[in-house]
Amino acid sequence: MKFGRTFAALAVAILIAGPVQAADHIKIGILGGDSELIWQQVKKIAAKDGLDIEAIPFTDYTIPNAALDAGDLDANAFQHKPYLENQIKTRGYKITAIAPTTISPIGLYSHKVKKLADLKDGALVGIPNDPSNGGRALLLLQAQKLVTLKPGTGVTPTVLDITDNPKHFKFKEVDAAQLVRSLDDLDAAVINSNYVTPAGINPVRDSLAIEVPENNPYGNVIAVRTADKDKPIYKKLVAAFDNDEIRSFINSHFDGAMIPAF
């Protein structure tokens, strides 16, 4: 009888409380490395709001948008807006940016010289081979007065848009993920921060030149399928990232290699 009364009391309690609600679940594609540390913190914040985030790291820029568009991911957070816009234009993805995340300044690095002025005439310089990051690299070189670009090319100039190259640099376009490994074969290379930091290279301390954060158009974004962009679950996702706790974590942990874009 005692067991029966206990079971009945438990059943009443369940009826009053209602069914246990499973947490909302999101699979989000990110870049491996430093971004994983940030998303570990975001996951903790999201859990308090009933959102379970499964962060899936990638090393290749080309996969997360294809996986999102195909429905294998619910969201991704690995790319800056010009890269996303180029992917939408060239591949027809129905993907929309819903919130900014971080800026990872691109920098110029070398294993052969310690100062920008020491780059020799005719140096071989590596740049990313995708249009948005290749253009970003050339804009950094222009900001350092190493090349001049044709006016009006926006954020996606190419080597064909170089109108003045006073040190006669030669350019080699390389997959962005391979540029760190290629440094020994190049005189210098413009490389995204997310690829240099896992190699023990500090963007602020070790670069020959680096982007400034002010008015930087290359802020990374959270992206989702366009048809899903207004779903309430994504408001939870954005709220878990866009807050003072995450801003403080980024500022205190990455020494300028990543800065908040929100």
C-alpha–C-alpha distance, residues 241 and 124, integer Å? 40
**β-pair type (148-149, 162-164):** antiparallel
Q: How far apart are CA 210 and CA 218, in angstroms?
A: 13
**Domain 107-210 sits in which CATH superfamily?**
Periplasmic binding protein-like II (3.40.190.10)
- Per residue in 15-58, pLDDT tens? 334 433 446 999 999 999 899 999 999 999 999 999 999 999 99
Residue 92 amino acid letter: G
Determine the pLDDT at residue 9: 41
Q: Which CATH number fits domain 22-104+217-260: 3.40.50.720, 3.40.50.9100, 3.40.30.10, 3.40.190.10?
A: 3.40.190.10
Closest CA to 46 of 239, 251, 220, 262: 239
pLDDT surpasses 50 at 114: yes
pTM value is 0.83
Report whether 165 contacts 147 (CB < 8 A).
Answer: yes
Tens-digit pLDDT profile for residues 149-196? 999 999 999 999 999 999 999 999 999 999 999 999 999 999 999 899
Rounded to whole angstroms, the Cα distance separating 203 from 197 reads 7
Q: Do domains 22-104+217-260 and 107-210 have the same CATH topology?
A: yes
Structure confidence at residue 15 (pLDDT): 38
Tell me the sheet residues that pair with 30.
57, 77
User: Where along the chain do its domains lie?
Assistant: 22-104+217-260, 107-210
Residue 163 tokens, joined? 């109108």
Going 8 to 12 to 17 to 22, the CA torsion angle's sign is positive
